[in-house]
Amino acid sequence: MQQAVSLIKSSSTILLTGHLRADGDCLGAQIVLYHALSAMGKEVQIMLPNLPDQRYGFLEQKTPWKIFDGELPEYDLLIACDCNELGRLGGMVPEILKRSQPKMVVDHHIMMTPDTWDAAFHDVEAAASGILAIELAQLLGAESLPLAAYEAAFVALMTDTGWLKYSNSDQRSFDMASYLVARGVDSSRIYDLVYQQLEDGRPLGVAAALQNLQYHADGKIAVAWVTNDLLTAGNGSLDDTDEVLDIIRAVANVEAVALLCERDAGQIKVSFRSKTILDVNKVARRIGGGGHARAAGASFERSVGMPEAVAQTLEVLLDEFATQ
């Protein structure tokens, strides 16, 4: 990790980025580093590979970011946050590979291609990349940050721990939450901004996804799916799948759940959650994705339709579950 610190200190122009369709942790880590590095006198930009999850748009009010439009700005160092492999940067990858400037990563996922990075601030024991961003800022001597940075770190921590209720909510997580609240973060306000600002179509989108819910393996495995046509027919929207996953995982007998959603241009993404037994990171990796033991995901090739994707997902889920 000292290599990452040294690389930052020796750089003057830094580009921050993160995985496709940035979530709370991905954005939060970038925002923390944006303010920390700016305080060090660095020239810093945030550039996202595509539009982030819209529920986190309020974070942009105090921290600017740009969406990749085919061209990258000049930089001495690229830092990818919450991104365990370069491919998760989407359309930015070809342009990044044209550059010789060093690349580093700040992440808490299992590294898929560690040799890609020139340096890494990496810890799979961290509940969120936002925790690592704060810890990196501290190592860099950026002890006093604006409230916007602490709020972003709080969003990162809370969204990746399910508001400190998931199994990754360890003492380090609670200590970080206390640290951030002590610096002015209003937990109730952040919860309202993240979870109480849904558009009218979100409950209808949840209903559409639950229409196709099926149980397998004596109710231990649950699989649901939803297409864009189903969402349109029901006037629903489902930009974030957490609500559906949480509802299904809350069923007493369910150990693991998979939710398949059709995304842009018909590409199907599957999200996995589990309780205590099944390592869904192993499941996701067999489909070309990855993540954590209790939360993971993968995307299918665009040529794969929903029936085939559901069948593949179920086959892998049942196979991995049978080995437990």
- Comparing 1 with 160, the larger pLDDT belongs to 160
Q: In which residue ranges of the chain is CATH 3.90.1640.10 found?
A: 2-195
| CA gap 290, 113 in Å, rounded | 12
Beta bridge partners of 81: 18, 106
| DSSP assignment of 46-57 | EEESSPPPGGGG
Residues 298, 279 contacting (CB under 8 angstroms) = no
Report residue 264's pLDDT band, with 50, 70 and 90 as the boundaries.
Answer: confident
For domain 2-195, the question of CATH label 1.10.645.10 is answered with no
Mean of pLDDT over the chain? 95
**232 SS3 class:** helix
Global confidence as pTM: 0.89
What DSSP state is assigned to residue 118?
Answer: S
| CA gap 25, 54 in Å, rounded | 14
Per-residue pLDDT, averaged over 143-152, amounts to 97
* Identity of the amino acid at 144: S
| CA gap 309, 307 in Å, rounded | 5
| CA gap 4, 158 in Å, rounded | 26
Q: In which residue ranges of the chain is CATH 3.10.310.30 found?
A: 203-322
Q: What is the pLDDT, as a whole number, of residue 114?
A: 87
The tens digit of pLDDT for each residue in 219-239 reads 999 999 999 888 888 887 877
Instruction: For 84-104, give one letter per residue: b (16+ CB within 10 A) or e.
Output: bbbebbeebeeebeeeebbbb
Backbone angles phi, psi at 274, to 5 degrees: -145, 170
Q: What is the pLDDT, as a whole number, of residue 53?
A: 87
The tens digit of pLDDT for each residue in 62-110 reads 999 999 999 999 999 999 999 989 999 999 999 999 999 999 999 999 8
pLDDT at 134 over 80: yes
Domain 203-322: give its CATH code.
Answer: 3.10.310.30
